[in-house]
Amino acid sequence: MKKLAAIATMLAILGLLIIPASALAAGGSSGDTSVGGTISTYYTLIAPAPIDLGTTISSAGEIAKGPFNVTVSTNDAAITTCGITVADKQAGPKGANAGHLMNGSYAMASNLILSGGDKTNTVLNAAAIPLRASSTPLATASITDFRVSQTIGTADLAHAGAYTLTLTFTATFGP
Amino acid sequence: MRTVFTVIVSALLAAALAPTAALAAAGFTIGLSSGPGRAPEVLPGDSYKQGVVVIAGDQEAEVLIEVLGYRQDIENGVVPIAPSEDAGPHSGREFISPGQTSIHLDAGQTKELQLHISVPQDVGDGGRYALLRFSTRAGGEGAVGVVSAIVLPFRFTIKGSQLVHAGKIAALEIPTPENGKPLSAIIDYENTGNHHYDISGQISIKNLDGALVFASPVTAASPIPGSTSQISAELRPDTILQAGTYSAEVNLMLGDGTLLDKTSTTFRIAAKYVAPPAEPSPVSPVQASPSPSRDAAAGNVTTIVVLAAGAFVLGSLGTLLATKRRRSH
């Protein structure tokens, strides 16, 4: 996959450099005007897509999913630190149930457990969990081993329905 | 009139890069376009615009835009402060108006918004600080939904005002070193001035007789006024440290040599310690924050190519080619 991505990168950059802007300037559909624009600095977060824990769960046990990639990066030379945190930011309405998969007002007995980056088997709650930080200029922080696991208890099986939770991945650039 | 940017090259590359669909992920990119950037010098009464480009990943996204205050602390780094609690004297939150609270993007789409920056006439001295938070709404299929958020600090310097660069070392710790790994110095540093600044200085390791064993330069960026941050330095003594007690002395200064603060502590080496060899990189042990510059935009243009599949490819040369769509009313 890494090799593929590298080839894609090379193709993309090559493709861009050989396309003269003038050739594109006349393009576009009716009502569109093509212009050249520049971005001096960028700040990127790539997080996992929503995680499917399985469609039907009918027995107690543990469900584990992963690994997933999470990456933050920038080309801003003034940035000396960047970091990735994850939290259940829906804590406002959920209160003490932050970190728990919810089915209506019922919260699974166990919190979702996270691993990845600098953390192993960490209990999810409302507080931000730092997964990885970088403190170098042109900072990039990346993890490739983000995993989630959920223990299903027998009490949970009595509350059939759809369970959901939202992870908030935050990329913070500083100073 | 709303300006819509579409990255043209994505379509041209789509066929060749189809396999990258397997990289499906959430997330997005924020880019700064026209304007002085995140760390401008501003005059009281100044009013200007800063362009911000938002580029979606491979999923449709509703991106919320919030302007918050912030502080820095040792455990959490940059910490957002909600508007209702952001009453500090150095807040620049009210300088920034994004004009809209959200922006809708189709998969792979790019849009630009303009931040309106207005500096009050009676702004006072020093620096002012604010934070932009861009976050997606949770969506898509899956029990575990995902929100992606990018937090971007803005630091304003009030031009012509009295800038106070002062601070103090709150703590110095030298953890017990492991053979073959660098010696660490951990400095908790509080900015007691009214503006951010670059720090330089030196860490000196001495033996019990007061003889200098090793010295290493330190460079770092201060936290914002009123905040404390941690400066971590890796030290690689070029001599073997025999078991015993040593002292570590830290002097932190401004670039012009003005002393900010100094402190010392002792630490013990239980057994003979050998540091790893110096790395070939010429950079100093603690990385500095290069001074932000308005000129950075001209000399540091980076291309962002959004693939059809949604993965981002970042190049170091070129220009983002955009389509500006005019909407008739």
Does A105 have pLDDT greater than 50? yes
Could you tell me if B317 lies within 8 Å of chain A, comparing CB atoms?
Answer: yes
- The pTM assigned to this predicted structure is 0.76
The whole-number average pLDDT for the span A104-116 is 94
The dotted CATH code for B167-269 is 2.60.40.10
Assess whether pLDDT exceeds 90 at residue A24.
no
Does the pLDDT value for residue B239 go beyond 60? Answer: yes
List the single residue in A32, A33, A175 with the smallest CB-CB distance to B224: A175
Among the listed ranges A94-98, B100-104, B251-255, which one has the minimum average pLDDT value?
A: A94-98
CA-to-CA separations, A56 to A52, A82, A99, A157, B156, in angstroms, rounded: 11, 38, 21, 11, 53
Residues of B in contact with A43 (CB under 8 A): 29-31, 150, 152
pLDDT at A117 over 60: yes
Over the Cα atoms of chain A, what is R_g? 21
Which of the following CATH numbers is that of domain B4-161+310-315: 3.40.50.170, 1.10.300.10, 2.60.40.10, 3.40.50.150?
2.60.40.10
Number of Cβ pairs < 8 A linking chain A and chain B: 287
What's the whole-number average pLDDT of chain A? 77
Instruction: Tell me the domain boundaries of chain A.
Output: 39-174
Task: Measure CB to CB from residue A34 to each of B292, B315, B323 and give the nearest one.
Answer: B323
Say what the ipTM of the complex is.
0.79
Paired tokens of B39: 């760390």
Cα A160 to Cα A98, B200, B205: the distances in Å are 20, 61, 64
Kindly determine whether residue B303 and residue A13, on different chains, have CB atoms separated by under 8 Å. yes
The reply to whether B244 touches chain A by the CB within 8 Å rule is: no
Interface with B, mutate which of A38, A56, A74, A79 (most B CBs under 10 A): A38
Confidence of residue A174 (pLDDT cuts 50, 70, 90): confident
| Partner A contacted by B226 (CB < 8 A) | no
Higher pLDDT, B13 or B186: B186
Inter-residue contact B318 to A18 (CB < 8 Å): no
In this predicted model, which residue has the larger pLDDT, B100 or A79?
B100
* Of B14 and A51, the one with more pLDDT: A51
In the prediction, which pLDDT does A92 show?
54
Contact across the interface for A174 and B78, Cβ inside 8 Å: yes
pLDDT for position A78: 83
pLDDT at residue B248 above 90? Answer: yes
Asked whether the beta carbons of A43 and A132 are under 8 A apart, the reply is no
Q: Which residue has the higher pLDDT, A112 or B4?
A: A112
- Per-residue confidence (pLDDT) for residue A89, from 0 to 100: 80
pLDDT at res. B59: 83
pLDDT for B309 beyond 50: no
Pick the more confident residue, A93 or B255. B255
Closest CA of chain B from A103, distance in Å: 10
- Range A39-174: architecture per CATH: Sandwich (2.60)
Sign of the C-alpha dihedral computed for residues A51, A54, A55 and A59 taken in this order: negative
Tell me which of A24-38, B47-61, B114-128, B278-292 is least confident: A24-38
**C-alpha of B48 from chain center:** 23
* Residue among B151, B315, B328 whose CB faces A16 most closely: B315
Task: Map tokens 């090559």 to a residue.
Answer: A14
Give the pLDDT of residue B75: 79
Higher pLDDT, B245 or A89: B245
Say if residue A26 is exposed, middle or buried (CB neighbours under 10 Å; 0-12, 13-18, 19+): exposed
Is the Cβ pair B323, A27 closer than 8 Å? yes
B290 contacts B283 by C-beta, under 8 angstroms: no
Nearest by CB to A39, which of B16, B196, B320?
B320
Residue of B nearest to A165 (CA): B144
In DSSP notation, chain A reads: -HHHHHHHHHHHHHHHHTS-HHHHHT-SSTTEEEEE---SEEEEEEEPPPBP--S---SSEEEEEEEEEEEEEE--TT--EEEEEEE-TTHHHHGGGTTS-EETTEE-SSPPEEEETTEEEEEP-SS-EEEEEE-SSS-EEEEEEEEEEEEEPHHHHTS-S--BEEEEEEEEEE-
Q: What would the mean pLDDT of B202-229 be, rounded to a whole number?
A: 93
Q: In chain B, which residue's Cα lies nearest the Cα of A57?
A: B143
pLDDT, tens digit (0-9, with 9 covering 90-100), for B118-133 = 999 999 999 999 999 9
B-chain residues near A53 (CB < 8 A): 142-144
Residue A93: the pLDDT is: 56
Parse chain B into domains and list their residue ranges.
4-161+310-315, 167-269
Q: Considering only residues 117 to 146 of chain B, which have any Cβ-Cβ distance to chain A shorter than 8 Å?
A: 135, 138-146
pLDDT-based confidence at B141, cuts 50/70/90? confident
